Structure 1
Amino acid sequence: MKTVSLLLVLTTLAFVTRASDQLKSVPKFYIYKTTKNTAIKNGEAKLTIHFDSPNFSDIPLGYQTIIYYSVNNVEDTLTLNTSFTATLRLAAKKTVFKFWPGPGYDEVITDTIQIENQTENEAQVNFYSENRMIEVDKPVIYLQNPVKMDFSLKVIPTNGFTFTYPVYEDEWKGTVYPTGEIELKGQKYPYLFWDSKQAFTLKKHTNGYRVSKEEIIPFLENQLSNARLTSAEKTDFITYWGPRMMQYESVFVQFYLQEDCNQFASIHCDPEPTVVNRLYIAFSKWNDKLEPYIHSIELPAFKRDGFNLLEWGGFELKSIAL
């Protein structure tokens, strides 16, 4: 199958890791029942496949229905109902199967299997979401408050820091000014910066966009304006992510908002902000198999009242050979 990329949302890493480990202990594909049936045309056979994944029950309607597959390198798709079962009619011969249920999953590829003539076969395919290491790039934290105020801020990334600026020592402790400047140990900063390399498991999501190279900047400007980022925040965001996205002629983009960002890091601030807004962007080189995951919506407007904290960051998921 073609090279694919990408993403969609998540459960907690701990849950997915346990579920993945359970599935790894059983074959990804196996035929568990074969029955002779002379009513089937000579030279043919029937294969009923039951698909399983710990994530299927959590995927919204529309995200769980498509299975990409090939039989001896001839590609096609299956549309599943809630039973996650499909039946194929095949030539009775040596066969190699490939199955892929969408972004966030490894492809299941079988060894060469002899499909016997005039038989009905029942098989099981087990999918799991593979944890992949990603660079959570340039999460930056802005603080705003109408009056000068002291604060302390703890950031706990899922897999530890690879870099922080200013240096993070158990917490960032300093003063925020009405201008948005942040002072720590006598030095002033426009924002607080951290990086992290993390294991990341893709799952369902509720937004997805295909954006051509020439539309990337207008797209980002529109979406960030909808979210009520300031001119300075939009400039920081676009000048970092725009060039990276524009290395491709077309990209698939998703946004992770608010509690969805807890998978990357937890944030604890004292005093507690009136509003916490978190926004991460994920992108990958476009592939036509991502078409079913397009769900274009406008980003919601963030509240920016009182003492508010804004964090943005993101990551690129490299293409996975399938």
Structure 2
Amino acid sequence: MPPAGQTLSASVELALVPEWSFSAIYPVAPVSTKGPASLECLTWDVDVRADGTLFDKRTAAEVTYLYWEATTNAVRPPSPPLEDAPEAFNPAYAVMTPSNSVLIDVSDVPSYIDKALSAMTLHTEARTSFITYWLPAILKHKYIALRFLPQAVYEPAAPMHVTPIPDVVTRVFMLFRGIEAENIDDWRADALQASPETWKNVVRVDESKARDTSLFRVLEWGGMEVKV
């Protein structure tokens, strides 16, 4: 959102790696391809108001946020990562292990996520929308493993360019999966021990800027269920 008392005209361009394809978009925007890899991309042109609401110029829709959803495409099996290579996020082959994820009883998941998102500066409406969107899928399991991706790891899978350039961009992306009863002991023995507040450091949220209402701030939140 822009500084208090101002309305800002902005353009938001979003592209996806080939392992993802847009499946739902709102406000509706045309999808095109770009570059040698034929990445799917779209652009929203909006007026951003100080209260955080948006006016989409193409459809004349007034919205509280821009929405996109994608399906995964198994383009090709990934090559094994080189030892000590930086982590990379491939949507079609997302990696969740006890060493990078926490294990939580499903009854404790909503509270854990709420506290994590709050620490990452998400406001009440965003936290509520996040949890209620994923809750039906989460409740299908007895135990959940989850992690939040560092922004630098998530960004290459869904590069986003906003004009004018924001003062701060916060992109929060969660991975989760159900853990079967026969695997619980292995996960309990090695699962990451992390308080909800720890994830703001993993994601690398600039908390002071993200809470500064005098700045032009962009917040994106989303997630993905990993099925194995």
Whether TM-score is above 0.5 comes out as yes
CA distance in 2, matches of 1:182, 1:235: 19
Structure 2 counterpart of 1:150, one-letter code: S
TM-fit CA distance, 1:145? 4.0
- Pair 1:294-2:168 in alignment: no
Q: What value does the CA root-mean-square deviation take over the aligned residues?
A: 2.0
Task: Report Cα offsets for 1:109-128 as digits up to 9, x if no partner.
Answer: xxxxxxxxxxxxxxxxxxxx
Per-residue CA deviation, residues 120-174 of structure 1 (Å, 9 max, x unaligned), is xxxxxxxxxxxxxxxxxxxxxxx45432100011000113312211112341001
* Structure having the larger proportion of residues in strand: 1
Whether contact under 8 Å (1:207, 1:296) holds in the other structure is no
Question: Cα deviations across residues 68-120 of structure 1 (Å, max 9, x unaligned)?
Answer: xxxxxxxxxxxxxxxxxxxxxxxxxxxxxxxxxxxxxxxxxxxxxxxxxxxxx
Q: Do structure 1's residue 211 and structure 2's residue 72 form an aligned pair?
A: no
Aligned to 2:47: 175
Alpha-carbon offset, residue 203 of structure 1: 4.6
What's the counterpart of residue 217 of structure 2? 308
Gaps of 5+ in 2: 31-41, 75-91
Task: State yes or no: 1:192 paired with 2:66.
Answer: yes
Matched residue type, 1:165: Y
Matched, 1:257 2:150: yes
Q: Percentage identity across aligned positions?
A: 25
Bigger radius of gyration, 1 or 2? Answer: 1
Determine the structure 2 residue equivalent to 1:201: 93
Structure 1: give runs of 5+ residues left out of the alignment.
1-142
Structure 2 equivalent of residue 93 of structure 1: none
Structure 1 residues 302-311 or 219-228, which shifts more?
A: 302-311
Question: Over residues 191-212 of structure 1, what are the superposed CA-to-partner deviations in whole Å (9 max), with x where a residue is unaligned?
Answer: 0011112342345887421111
Which secondary structure does the structure 2 equivalent of 1:167 belong to?
coil
Shift in Å, 1:242: 2.4
Change (3 A) 1:259 1:217: same
1:166 and 1:192 in contact (8 A); partners too: yes
3-state DSSP of counterpart to 1:278: strand
Residue 176 of structure 2 aligns with an amino acid whose one-letter code is F
Out of 110, 116, 132, the residue aligned to residue 223 of structure 1 is: 116
What is the CA–CA distance in structure 2 between the aligned matches of 1:214 and 1:204, rounded to whole Å? Answer: 21
Deviations 1:162-190 (A, max 9, x none): 22111123410010000100101332101
Alpha-carbon distance between aligned partners in 2 of 1:144 and 1:214, rounded to the nearest angstrom: 37
Give the conservation status (yes or no) of the 8 Å contact 1:145–1:176: no
Per the normalisation by structure 1, the TM-score is 0.51
Tell me the alpha carbon deviations over residues 267-294 of structure 1, each in whole angstroms, 9 at most, x when there is no partner: 0010011111111111111233334242
Number of paired residues?
Answer: 177
